[in-house]
Chains A and B, each alone.
Chain A
Amino acid sequence: MAKNSSSPVKSRAAGRRSPLASVALIVIGLMSTGGAYALFTSSATADSSVVKTQVVEEGAKLYAANCATCHGLNLEGSGTGPSLLGVGAAATQFQVGTGRMPLAASGPQAPQKPAQFTDAQVNALAAFVASKAPGPAAPTAAQLTASNDPAKGAELFRINCAMCHNVAGAGGALTEGKYAPSLSGVSAKYVWDAMVSGPQNMPVFNDNNISPEDKANIITYLKYLDKTPSVGGYDLGNLGPVSEGLFIWIFGLGTVVGITIWLTAKSN
């Protein structure tokens, strides 16, 4: 599964270092030398087959109990839910991990809500879905931190993401009641998952579109926004001139009118 998603990268960017390339190098290193990195790489790419089978079986049970009603017993989909063949671990991790799935009610868009499953269960479900058909993999910790250039990330964010999510990631409206959610406080792995799997109305940003390093840069920028306090004071939700205008009319002018009333009341 991991090999499937990393293979186009290898063929494309032969001369450049990418996190997937380094992961692949490590795998090759392991195969040729074994030794000290065995533990580190085994958790990232290659589970021992026994553990893996157990996890997939666990995922299969969870799937059958919670997802099969709409998505079909063999992920083939039904009238009420799309086929999950080929959506990969990334999509599963995103949809289930952020609580969007299982869906509580049908509507224009599945809203984020408290997750129903533990991380281990989410991973099991993801492993199960990925075992049925190849699809985009969930990111490894190394991938998420492969690069940290917030300026590059910000530029890419403005070009690729801001038209729906707003420049500050505050979210925005889409058609027919759908919306791009706010990105503040969203875990790095879910941002990655969303980029590679394109949940709901979001387009897919595959590795040819935005390279894995640049995905990491975008995540760096979003984390920068989360961590850095607004330099100019309270940011009014980062919604731009509308919240500024509302503020000046309600609180600015409200205060001023209050003062005028106070001033003229005194003299009477």
Chain B
Amino acid sequence: MGASVLTTATRSPAAPVEESRGSRFTGWAANYVDERTSISGLVKELGRKIFPDHWSFMLGEVALYSFVVILLSGTFLTFFFQASMTSVIYDGSYAPLKGIEMSNAMQSTLDISFDIRGGLLMRQIHHWAALLFIASIGLHMLRIYFTGAFRKPREINWVVGFILFILAMAEGFTGYSLPDDLLSGNGLRIIDGLIKGIPIVGTWISYLLFGSQFPGTDIVPRLFTLHILLLPAILVAALGIHLVLLVINKHTQFAGPGKTNNNVVGVPIMPTFAAKAGGFFFIIFGVIALIASLFTINPIWTYGPYDPSPVSAGTQPDWYIGFADGALRLVPPHLEWLWGPYTFSLNIFLPVVVLGLFIVVVMFYPFLEAWVTGDKREHHIADRPRNAPTRTAIGAAGVTFYAVLWGAASSDLIATHFLISIEGVITTLQILLIVGPIIAYFVTKRICIGLMKKDREIALHGYESGRIVRLPGGEYIEVHEQLDPYERWRLISFEDYQPLMVRPNAKGEITVAQRVRAGLSNWFFEDRIAPVSRTELAAAHGDAHGALEGDAGAHGAIGH
């Protein structure tokens, strides 16, 4: 639509006669708008933004579209939800809660579920979309990380994206706490505990947040304000910055024929991509609606209203907070001390600190890597994960660390479903939390280097075809199939890094920072496979194009 408006508007002076009434109207309308807003420049810039085609480049879009679904369904829910903790007696349709005292928030959520037409579907769409939103953000981040798409000039957008991830988790948690059911109340109790675990000031902050002794009567309205006003406002603003930076930075692409560091090969937004994206939005909406209509999520009527005394078995937060819950389950006991008048509950504070550090390291990883590698160039070609073995290995270690914490959040369900003791599960996960990332690091690095070796071998010698040929002289050789140049380009076009040298600075000194940096750089690039050079390629099959003798020659030259 936008593009056709644009083209009509610019072309209309050249061919005014042949246009139909409809296109004359659109032309006039576009001109009218453009003269008053100068929007054509923006439309031209946006409309010509190029999207390369790769499935993994659509994960961010999935997050965006699920967010739109969340906004739509959430707006519906606000029409009926009462963010109040006033005590009422339930008298709705659900028999096993009739006559039970609960908060207004819980009652209105039950009414949405049982007495408002379409309400339960909307609730389930909202909740499932939220789970998909954060899951797709997670996968999107993994894609960015493992392809090195966070490198210059996209470091800032990585940070913005990471803030979006944190905001999404905060949105999720505040939303999870709103119905004031037993599960969410237990979740809030844990948050209360985490806050109270902060040395010295924790108790004060807890009273400030809850307005009184936990749970008080203020927390649901406060979380509601955060959930529908403050957090979404920040989230939308950050999302805007994220998308603008995406346009400014252009999209990364995988190496391929015609794809260089200086261009972007793909489809422009207008008109094809926009149409496809619009369709994709409805597909995502459809998938969410299908899941929401077939599968229960958060059946608050089973959990019942919040009451501080009961805690159900299998009480867990939604998946994205699971890693924090897992950290609390894995921390060893007896880490609390009384120093003076203050209690120091390190068994709670320690996980908070460790997770905080983990989050900060992930958030600033692009800057750490840039400093270590000393790479100040712009990168628009996405790495294949194997071609950056150390980064991929660090990523695998991080994923393992997160996954162990995540798994620990369901330690009780692991125990019951695999018929093992919960102590065994906890001890195993405690060990895995430390040892797992180390193993993952080395295994991944070796696998990456192995794959690079294989790539190099294939680029130089081609595939083993399995065809054995006997030469006139009696010698047997196996014919190697050569790659076509397009395929080969994919295998050989990656950048070669060297460890940084320790160099004295302007004053002729070698600083400690320099040494650390050189050490880290050495660790990063010590084990590496150089990409196939032009000369190697020429030597390997300069004379080897398809001919049998050539193959044999190449074979001999490499010394097999």
A86, B128: Cα distance in complex, Å: 52
- Beyond A163-B310, A173-B412, A244-B319, whether A251 also contacts B291 by CB under 8 A is yes
Closest to A163 in B: B311
A253, B62: Cα distance in complex, Å: 9
Q: Give min CB distance, B381 to chain A, whole Å.
A: 18
Picked from A153, A158, A174, A256, the residue with its CB within 8 Å of the CB of B284 is A256
A260, B419: Cα distance in complex, Å: 38
Q: Is A37 an interface residue (CB 8 A)?
A: no
Q: Is B208 an interface residue (CB 8 A)?
A: no
Q: Is B315 an interface residue (CB 8 A)?
A: yes
- Beyond A244-B131, A252-B291, A263-B58, whether A163 also contacts B304 by CB under 8 A is no
Q: Is B72 an interface residue (CB 8 A)?
A: no
A246, B299: Cα distance in complex, Å: 17
Are B313 and A244 neighbours in the complex by a CB distance under 8 Å? no
Are A236 and B295 neighbours in the complex by a CB distance under 8 Å? yes
Interface 9-residue window, one of B75-83, B93-101, B230-238: B93-101
Q: Is A241 an interface residue (CB 8 A)?
A: yes
Q: Is A235 an interface residue (CB 8 A)?
A: yes
Q: Mark B431-453, 1 if CB is under 8 A from A, else 0.
A: 00000000000000000000000
Q: Which B residues are CB-close (under 8 A) to A166?
A: 312-314
Q: Is A261 an interface residue (CB 8 A)?
A: yes
Q: Which A residues are CB-close (under 8 A) to B320?
A: 245
Q: Mark A229-268, 1 if CB is under 8 A from B, else 0.
A: 0111111101111101111110111011101110111011
Q: Give min CB distance, A116 to chain B, whole Å.
A: 22
Q: Mark B301-327, 1 if CB is under 8 A from A, else 0.
A: 111100101111111111110100000
Q: Is B135 an interface residue (CB 8 A)?
A: yes
Are A172 and B313 neighbours in the complex by a CB distance under 8 Å? yes
Q: Which A residues are CB-close (under 8 A) to B131?
A: 244-245, 248, 252
Q: Give min CB distance, A100 to chain B, whole Å.
A: 16
Q: Is A190 an interface residue (CB 8 A)?
A: no
Are B96 and A248 neighbours in the complex by a CB distance under 8 Å? no
Q: Give min CB distance, A23 to chain B, whole Å.
A: 27
Are B96 and A180 neighbours in the complex by a CB distance under 8 Å? no
Report the number of A-B residue pairs with Cβ-Cβ less than 8 Å: 197
Are B409 and A173 neighbours in the complex by a CB distance under 8 Å? no
A47, B23: Cα distance in complex, Å: 97
Q: Give min CB distance, A169 to chain B, whole Å.
A: 9
Q: Is A175 an interface residue (CB 8 A)?
A: yes
Q: Which A residues are CB-close (under 8 A) to B297?
A: 232, 244
Q: Which A residues are CB-close (under 8 A) to B416?
A: 171-173, 179
Picked from B124, B135, B296, the residue with its CB within 8 Å of the CB of A249 is B135
A247, B128: Cα distance in complex, Å: 10
A: contact size bracket: 35 or more
Are B413 and A256 neighbours in the complex by a CB distance under 8 Å? no
Are A260 and B58 neighbours in the complex by a CB distance under 8 Å? yes
A215, B381: Cα distance in complex, Å: 68
Interface centre among B297, B309, B314, by most A CB within 10 Å? B314
Closest to A155 in B: B100
Are A242 and B413 neighbours in the complex by a CB distance under 8 Å? yes
Q: Is A60 an interface residue (CB 8 A)?
A: no
Interface residues of A in 158-189 (CB under 8 A from B): 158-159, 162-168, 170-177, 179-180
Closest to A235 in B: B296
Q: Is A108 an interface residue (CB 8 A)?
A: yes
Are B53 and A267 neighbours in the complex by a CB distance under 8 Å? yes
Interface centre among A172, A235, A241, by most B CB within 10 Å? A241
Interface residues of B in 322-368 (CB under 8 A from A): 322
Picked from A175, A245, A264, the residue with its CB within 8 Å of the CB of B423 is A175
- Beyond A240-B316, A245-B318, whether A253 also contacts B100 by CB under 8 A is no
Picked from B53, B99, B135, the residue with its CB within 8 Å of the CB of A151 is B99
Closest to A231 in B: B120
Are B95 and A150 neighbours in the complex by a CB distance under 8 Å? yes
Are B322 and A245 neighbours in the complex by a CB distance under 8 Å? yes
- Beyond A159-B307, A235-B296, A252-B128, whether A164 also contacts B135 by CB under 8 A is no
B: contact size bracket: 35 or more
Q: Is B293 an interface residue (CB 8 A)?
A: yes
Q: Is A221 an interface residue (CB 8 A)?
A: yes
Are B120 and A232 neighbours in the complex by a CB distance under 8 Å? yes
Q: Is A154 an interface residue (CB 8 A)?
A: yes
Closest to A248 in B: B131
A239, B98: Cα distance in complex, Å: 24
Q: Is B59 an interface residue (CB 8 A)?
A: yes
A259, B97: Cα distance in complex, Å: 41
Are B295 and A242 neighbours in the complex by a CB distance under 8 Å? no
Q: Which B residues are CB-close (under 8 A) to A165?
A: 313
- Beyond A163-B311, A177-B415, A180-B313, whether A224 also contacts B96 by CB under 8 A is yes
- Beyond A154-B304, A158-B312, A172-B313, whether A263 also contacts B280 by CB under 8 A is yes
Q: Which B residues are CB-close (under 8 A) to A162?
A: 182, 310-313
Picked from A164, A224, A232, A249, the residue with its CB within 8 Å of the CB of B313 is A164
Are A241 and B317 neighbours in the complex by a CB distance under 8 Å? yes
A240, B183: Cα distance in complex, Å: 9
Q: Is B54 an interface residue (CB 8 A)?
A: yes
- Beyond A239-B413, A245-B318, whether A167 also contacts B128 by CB under 8 A is no
Q: Mark A175-214, 1 if CB is under 8 A from B, else 0.
A: 1110110000000000000000000000000000000000
Q: Give min CB distance, B440 to chain A, whole Å.
A: 19
Closest to B59 in A: A260
Q: Give min CB distance, B288 to chain A, whole Å.
A: 8
Q: Mark B41-83, 1 if CB is under 8 A from A, else 0.
A: 0000000000001111111001000000000000000000000
Are A168 and B302 neighbours in the complex by a CB distance under 8 Å? yes
Q: Give min CB distance, A233 to chain B, whole Å.
A: 5
Picked from B55, B96, B128, B421, the residue with its CB within 8 Å of the CB of A154 is B96
Q: Is B136 an interface residue (CB 8 A)?
A: yes
Are A241 and B136 neighbours in the complex by a CB distance under 8 Å? no
A153, B99: Cα distance in complex, Å: 12
24 contacts between A and B (CB under 8 A): A151-B98, A155-B304, A158-B307, A159-B307, A163-B311, A167-B182, A167-B183, A167-B302, A172-B312, A172-B313, A176-B421, A179-B415, A231-B114, A231-B120, A232-B113, A236-B296, A248-B319, A251-B291, A252-B135, A252-B287, A252-B288, A256-B287, A264-B55, A268-B53
Closest A-B pairs by Cβ, 8 of them: A172-B313, A245-B319, A232-B296, A177-B421, A173-B412, A150-B96, A260-B55, A248-B131
Q: Residues on A close to B: CB < 8 A? A: 108, 150-151, 153-155, 158-159, 162-168, 170-177, 179-180, 221, 224-225, 230-236, 238-242, 244-249, 251-253, 255-257, 259-261, 263-265, 267-268
Q: Contacts A240-B314, A252-B288 given; 6 further ones with Cβ under 8 A?
A: A166-B313, A167-B303, A171-B416, A224-B95, A233-B293, A263-B58
